[in-house]
Amino acid sequence: MPENWTIDRVRKALASKKISARELATDYYERIAARNPELNAYLTLSQDRAFAQADRMDALVAAGKALPPLAGVPLAVKDVISTRGVRTTCGSKVLENYIPPYDATAVERLEAAGAVILGKTNCDEFAMGSSNENSAYGPVRNPEALDRVPGGSSGGSAAAVAAGLAVVSLGTDTGGSIRQPGALCGIPAMMPSYGRVSRYGLIAFASSLDRIGPFATNVRDVAAVLQIIAGRDANDSTSTTAPVPNYQAEAEKPVKGLRIGIPKEYFGAGMDPEVREKVEAGIEVLRKLGCEIREIRMPHTDYAIAVYYIIATAEASSNLARYDGVRYGLRVDGDSLLSMYRKTRGAGFGAEVKRRIVLGTYVLSAGYYDAYYLKGQKVRALIAQDFRDAFTKVDAIVTPTSPVPAFKLGERTNDPLQMYLADIYTVTGSLAGVPGISVPCGKVCGKLPVGLQIFGPPFGEGRVLQLAQAFESAGGAGL
């Protein structure tokens, strides 16, 4: 049985009856049993649901019927995305025993396309973190180096795919939480444009930034998953009505003649010299493929981290107010309503979530709203304008995904600012609403993966996938 399944290989093996969907799901559960104790990538497994779906796919094969696009494909889902009847904790004690009564739209669409949902993956609490060390259920370890972080907040989803414990997975990206773990674990990982994929069923962190996107072992599979989950959803008023192109066909288009912008601001102080070397070698690969490389300026980049941590924390403060011991999740009784609020939130939320709630409440408070939140929104508009201006001159923008390779577990936990700076190259695209992908771009120190980030214009996922596919086909991962 192949160790490294892809969507295409699963479909062909099922159609030719070389393996059944149930046998494949069983194989993946055996892999999880063997490796998850050291990786901590999964928090909850959904065997009953997975085997029921696998049996449905096997019945289609037995009847000689056409198979849906993701028939039998083992899939992992980040634990901030709702799954009917399957525990969804957000990596928090507040929701330790929460079982949603409905599926997120993305989950519903993937299961309708034949995917087999193996379980829910570990993540930073409420998706707040850059290392997956903020989970109430312990950190995830990087499959490439067990003493290192996998990146965050979607570290479990990245580690599961990188370790061969799922063929594809879903994560969420608010400021880099798909792309950065993809880079650190050495797999392709995509953040679609804001509004391209429905957020219905995604438990909110920062509603103007949160996005659902795929991880896979190759760009073609990223495109295949995005194809299924993209598109308008009546349950999400922020989802776009823009038509969904054929992403797999877009990914196969030649890249010769495309203009690639390299922003000088993304290659500044704090960048690991070996990471810089790999990314510059990656840019040369694109040049050799016939792309025109242009240096561009994105002058407001330096303000991105500050702006992100004003806007994201403000929205988190608002969204997490619902966890009060009355309406959702954990309840710790006290001798008054205020006492119950304090005890519930004190016991239920971890340190990083509390830090962000306090920051967000502060920037929204009387006297500080104009000085911080309003100003932050104005600078966000300037960052978005940087991208719009750039896309009048170039077809895509290429940058490093992370300034450093995977750092050691515990290395940054006592220095929140250093932790926040891990997202310095990803938050800009989040604030601007544009799509971005991280693709593997070699390794440093012999084993630590580096990611190359490609941004496209709003709803230009096809262009992003086109460049990512060309880069991957040209051997970019082996630099």
245-253 average pLDDT score: 97
Percent of the chain beyond pLDDT 70? 99
- What is residue 74's three-state secondary structure? strand
Query: Residue range 123-150: average pLDDT?
Result: 98
> Measured between alpha carbons, how far is 465 from 190 in angstroms, rounded to an integer?
9
Catalytic, 177? Answer yes
CB atoms within 10 A of CB 272: 18
pLDDT band at 82; cut points 50, 70, 90: very high
pLDDT(409) > 50? yes
Give yes or no for residue 393 having a pLDDT over 90: yes
Cis? peptide before 153, omega within 30° of 0: yes
pLDDT value of residue 112? 98
Which of the pair, 421 or 254, is modelled with greater confidence? 254
Backbone angles phi, psi at 180, to 5 degrees: -65, -45
* Average confidence (pLDDT) over 183-187: 98
Which tokens belong to 67? Answer: 């198979």
Tokens of 439: 């693709």
157 is catalytic: no
Work out the pLDDT band at 270, boundaries 50, 70, 90. Answer: confident
The β-bridge relationship of strands 168-173 and 211-216 is: antiparallel
Spatial contact of 116 and 57, defined as CB atoms under 8 Å apart: yes
Among 46, 78, 135, 402, the one annotated catalytic: 78
CA distance 60 to 3: 25
Q: What percent of the chain has pLDDT over 90?
A: 96
Q: Determine which one of 82, 153, 157, 198 is catalytic.
A: 153
| pLDDT of 1 | 41
CATH 1.10.1060.10 fits 259-302+375-478, yes or no: no
**78 catalytically annotated:** yes
Q: Is the pLDDT of residue 235 over 80?
A: yes
DSSP 390-449: HTTT-SEEEEES-SSSPPBTTSSTT-HHHHHGGGTTTHHHHHHT--EEEEEEEEETTTEE
Q: Residue 369 and residue 366: Cα distance in Å, rounded?
A: 6
Q: Kind of pairing, strands 116-121 and 42-45?
A: antiparallel
**Half-sphere exposure at residue 93, Cβ-oriented, CA atoms within 13 angstroms:** 16
Average of per-residue pLDDT values in the chain? 97
Question: For the segment 43-77, what is each residue's pLDDT rounded down to a tens digit?
Answer: 999 999 999 999 999 999 999 999 999 999 999 99
Q: What DSSP string runs through 132-155?
A: S---TT----BTTBTTB---SSSH
Angle at 272 between CA 267 and CA 276, to 5 degrees: 50
CA 344 to chain centre: 29
> If we measure between CA atoms, which residue out of 279, 274, 478 comes closest to residue 398?
279
Per-residue pLDDT at 417:
86
Question: Could you check whether 7-251 and 259-302+375-478 share the same CATH topology?
Answer: yes
Phi, psi of 423 (to 5 degrees): -100, 15
pLDDT classification of 268: cutoffs 50, 70, 90:
confident
Which has the closest alpha carbon to 426: 418, 417, 434? 434
Domain chopping of the chain, boundaries: 7-251, 259-302+375-478, 306-370
pLDDT exceeds 80 at position 3:
no
Q: Is the pLDDT of residue 430 over 60?
A: yes
Alpha-carbon distance 368 to 358, whole Å? 13
Does 27 have pLDDT greater than 90? yes
Residues 92, 130, 131, 177: which is the catalytic one?
A: 177
CATH class of 7-251: alpha beta
Q: How confident is the model at residue 328 (pLDDT cuts 50, 70, 90)?
A: confident
Q: How many CB atoms lie within 10 A of CB 171?
A: 34
Structure tokens belonging to residue 47: 């065997």
Contacts (Cβ under 8 Å, ≥6 apart) of 446: none
